[in-house]
Chain A
Amino acid sequence: MAIGNTAKDGTGTPYWQVVNDAGYIRVYDWEPELQSDEALNDSDKTFTVPAGEEWKIKWIWLEFTTGAGANRQIEIQIQDGAADVIDEVKVGIVQGAAITRYYHLSPHSADLAAFRDTDWLMTPIPEWVLPAGYVIRIWDNAAVLPAADDLIIQMGIGKRSTT
C-alpha cells in the first residue's frame, strides 16, 4: 500500500485511503459537529445524545444576557439515560443583572474567578464521552429568570455512530 491508495467497495466507491508511509488507514470515528441553541428567553437548556450515536464534548461557548434580579450561576450538568445527575461543573464567578457575559469551557482551560477583559470567563471541563440518551444541561442554577434571560449556546462535539 502506498500513500493515496484506497480501499473500495464493489462499486468502486473508496472508503479508506492510505495517508502515510506506514499504510495506515484513516478511521472516521469522531466527526466534528456543531450543536447550537440560539433561542432567546431561556436560561435552562438541554441537549440529548440521539439514538445510535455517541458524543464527545470538545468545547462550549455561551453568550449570556441577563434581565433584572439576583446573581446567576452557570452550571454544566450531565445526566444519564434515567435523568440521574452523574456530573456537574460550575463556572468560577456569578453574573449580575442586566449585563452580557461570555463563557468558554474546554478541557485545557484555566479556572478563572473573575471576568477577563470585562466580560469573558473560561472554565475547565472534562472531555465527556456520552452514549445515547445522556443529557447535557447548561443552565443558570439560581433560576433567576429562566424564561426571560437569553442564553445562547454553541457546543463543539465529536460524534460517532454506534449502529
Chain B
Amino acid sequence: MAIGNTVKDGTGTPYWQVVNDAGYIRVYDWEPTLEADEALNDSDKTFTVPAGVEWKVKQIWVEFTSTAVVGNRQIEIQIQDDAADVICEMKVGAVQAASITRYYHLSAHAADLVAFRDTDWLMTPIPEWVLPAGYVIRIWDNAAVDAAADDVIIQLQIGVRSTS
C-alpha cells in the first residue's frame, strides 16, 4: 500500500485511502471547522447547517459589547429544526448590562457560572448537539434590548461530516 491507494467496494466507489507512509487508514468522521460571524450591530445571529453535511457543536465563544441602551441582556442558544420549530434552548447564568464587554465560553463540559470570573468571563454547559442539514443554531440576546446595535461576535467550533 502506498499513499493515495484506495480500498473500494464492488462498484468502484473508494471508501478508504492510505494517507501516510505507515499505510494507516484515516476515517473521515468529524472534521474540525470554525464557523465565525464577526459582523457588528447585530445581537441575533443564526447558523444553518448546509445541505449534505451534519454538524457536531463543540464550543461556542461569544464576545458581546452592549450599547448604552439601558437593559439587561440575556444570552441564549436556541436550536431549531428544519421547520424553524424550537427544539432546544440554553441560557447563560448571568445577564449583561449596558455599555460593557463580556466574554462567554460554552461547551459540553463547562461548569455553570452565575457570576463573571476575572471581571468579564462566563462559562456555561451545553450539550454536544449533532444537527442534520437545515437545522439552525441561533445565538442571541433574548431580551432584544438593542438588537441592531449591540455587537455580538461569534466563533463556533464544530465537527463537520458529509452525508452525501
Contacts and interface: CB of A to CB of B under 8 A. Distances in A.
Interface of A: 9-10, 13, 15-16, 25, 27-29, 54, 73, 75, 80, 84-90, 92, 107-111, 124-131, 141, 160-163
B75 interface: no
A28 B32 contact: no
Contacts of A87: 59, 61, 105, 155, 157
Interface size bracket, B side: 20 to 34
Contacts of A25: 25
Interface string B58-69: 110100000000
Contact of B58 (A9, A10, A129, A161): A129
Given A89-B123, A129-B30, A28 B24 contact: yes
A16 B118 contact: no
Interface stretch (B15-23, B43-51, B134-142): B15-23
B107 interface: yes
B40 interface: no
B3 to A, nearest CB: 8
Contacts of B108: 107, 126
Interface string B95-113: 0000000010101111101
A95 to B, nearest CB: 12
Interface in B1-40: 1, 19-20, 22-27, 30, 32, 34, 36
Contacts of A127: 58, 109
Given A13-B23, A29-B27, A88 B1 contact: no
Given A88-B103, A89-B105, A129-B58, A15 B24 contact: yes
A131 B59 CA distance: 14
Contacts of B71: none
Contacts of B105: 87-89
A126 B126 CA distance: 11
B58 A128 contact: yes
Contacts of A90: 117-118, 121
B32 A130 contact: yes
A25 to B, nearest CB: 8
Given A129-B32, A130-B32, A160 B26 contact: yes
Given A73-B118, A87-B105, A87-B157, A110 B111 contact: yes
B109 A124 contact: yes
B59 A9 contact: no
B9 to A, nearest CB: 16
A29 B24 CA distance: 8
B117 A131 contact: no
30 contacts: A9-B1, A10-B1, A15-B1, A15-B23, A27-B26, A29-B26, A73-B118, A80-B34, A84-B36, A85-B155, A86-B61, A87-B105, A87-B157, A88-B61, A90-B118, A92-B117, A109-B109, A124-B111, A125-B109, A126-B58, A126-B110, A127-B58, A128-B59, A128-B157, A129-B159, A131-B32, A141-B118, A161-B20, A161-B24, A163-B19
